């Protein structure tokens, strides 16, 4: 009986140990360097960055913990991953859509930025220059205020240009981004004009706002106006385009007609807008 009880006790002890080990395995322990995933709409696509953010913890970072002249994962833990859904120019260098590992080589006066076709790896230990898709140099700058936690961010973002920045400790690096949006959109508009439903109105407004193909845009808005002769907004945009194209006389005629239509329709927005065209054309 004692032997039976002893065996049962051993089995229960083993079972309890297994349960504890299983619980330890399942337990989630947060990484000392927290992860961050950021997305930025840019051009006709999206740029996303997935990286881990180490802290200085009182240490000297560049030229210390991260030596100058050596490849760095540009983060902690796994190598930093950058995904592009559309083509982007970085410091004038074209990078097609895809997923890339972002590495860098810090220096006192110059950094080398590297985009590798190998994106999924731990650190930079298996980095191979043969996998480089793009590398270029940028100048670092001194930060006014210390950044405790490594930060990758987007700044001064516009439709076709913006900045991607790497900031840590007392050092910052800026990568200039460029997207060829206008030429592609204009090409799409021109192609759409070949279809059955021609986007005269929106195509002409886009051209006005981006100062592209203004003479052509005037003819497009004239077609839109023919289809909607009693619309105060059509008269306004036609007048705007004509004025930009140097045809002040017709711009005044259409703005006055737009003002009349807007006044009859009690449309305060286009009363104001058509009045502004007349003012810009020198009519008081």
**What mean pLDDT comes out for the span 125-129?**
87
pLDDT band at 74 (very low <50, low <70, confident <90, very high): very high
Does residue 41 sit within a domain? yes
Do 232 and 262 form a contact (C-beta atoms < 8 A)?
yes
> Residue 273 phi/psi, 5° resolution?
-65, -45
Task: Tell me which of 146, 178, 210 is where a domain ends.
Answer: 178
Does residue 256 sit within a domain? yes
166 and 38 in a common domain: yes
pLDDT band at 15 (very low <50, low <70, confident <90, very high): low
Task: Tell me which of 136, 158, 178 is where a domain ends.
Answer: 178
236 and 161 in a common domain: no
Q: What is the mean pLDDT of the chain?
A: 90
58 Rama class: left (phi>0) / alpha (psi -120 to 50) / beta: left
3-state class (DSSP) for residue 197: coil
Does the pLDDT at position 31 exceed 80? Answer: no
Task: Tell me which of 123, 145, 178 is where a domain ends.
Answer: 178
pLDDT tens digits along 165-223: 999 999 999 999 999 888 889 999 999 999 999 999 999 999 999 999 999 999 999 99
196 and 216 in a common domain: yes
172 and 225 in a common domain: no
DSSP line for 203-227: HHHHHHHHT-SHHHHHHHHHHHHHH
DSSP state of 95: E
Does the pLDDT at position 69 exceed 70? Answer: yes
160 and 257 in a common domain: no
Q: Is 0.85 surpassed by the pTM of this model?
A: no
SS3 content of the chain, % helix, strand, coil (to 5): 40, 30, 30
> Residue 57 phi/psi, 5° resolution?
50, 35
The β-bridge relationship of strands 132-138 and 140-155 is unpaired
Domain enclosing residue 218, as ranges: 182-280
**What mean pLDDT comes out for the span 4-23?**
51
155 and 123 in a common domain: yes
Which is nearest to 86 in space by CA: 96, 99, 76? 96
Which is nearest to 150 in space by CA: 127, 173, 132, 122? 173
Does residue 26 sit within a domain? no
Q: Tokens 């731990």 sit at which residue?
A: 122
DSSP state of 233: H
198 and 158 in a common domain: no
Does residue 255 sit within a domain? yes
Does residue 257 sit within a domain? yes
Q: Contacts from 198-201 at CB under 8 Å and sequence distance 24+?
A: 198/223, 200/224, 200/227, 201/234, 201/237
Cα–Cα separations (whole angstroms), residue 106 to 25, 181, 281:
38, 32, 56
139 and 199 in a common domain: no
219 and 149 in a common domain: no
264 and 137 in a common domain: no
Q: What is the CATH number of the domain that holds 244?
A: 1.25.40.10
Structure tokens at 167: 């900031």
225 and 173 in a common domain: no
- Number of domain units in the chain: 2
167 and 202 in a common domain: no
């Amino acid at each position: 009986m004692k032997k039976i009880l002893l065996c049962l006790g051993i089995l229960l002890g083993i079972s309890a140990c297994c349960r504890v080990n299983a619980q330890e395995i399942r337990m989630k322990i947060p990484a000392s360097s927290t992860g961050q995933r950021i997305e930025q709409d840019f051009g006709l696509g999206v740029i996303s960055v997935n990286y881990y953010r180490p802290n200085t913890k009182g240490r000297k970072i560049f030229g210390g913990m991260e030596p100058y002249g050596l490849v760095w994962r540009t983060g902690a833990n796994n190598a930093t991953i950058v995904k592009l859904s559309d083509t982007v120019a970085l410091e004038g260098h074209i990078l097609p859509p895809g997923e890339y590992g972002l590495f860098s080589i810090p220096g006192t006066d110059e950094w080398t930025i590297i985009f590798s076709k190998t994106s999924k790896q731990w650190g930079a230990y298996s980095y191979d220059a043969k996998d480089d898709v793009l590398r270029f140099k940028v100048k670092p700058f001194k930060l006014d205020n210390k950044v405790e936690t490594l930060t990758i961010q987007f700044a001064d973002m516009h439709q076709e240009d913006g900045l991607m920045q790497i900031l840590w400790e007392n050092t910052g690096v800026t990568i200039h981004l460029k997207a060829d949006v206008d030429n592609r959109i204009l090409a799409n508009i021109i192609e759409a004009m070949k279809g059955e439903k021609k986007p005269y109105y929106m195509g002409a407004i886009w051209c006005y706002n981006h100062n592209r193909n203004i003479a052509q845009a005037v003819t497009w808005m004239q077609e839109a106006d023919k289809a909607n002769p009693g619309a105060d907004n059509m008269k306004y945009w036609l007048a705007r385009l004509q004025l930009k194209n140097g045809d002040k006389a017709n711009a005044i005629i259409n703005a006055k007609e737009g003002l009349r239509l807007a006044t009859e329709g009690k449309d305060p927005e286009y009363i104001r807008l058509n009045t502004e065209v007349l003012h810009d054309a020198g009519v008081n």
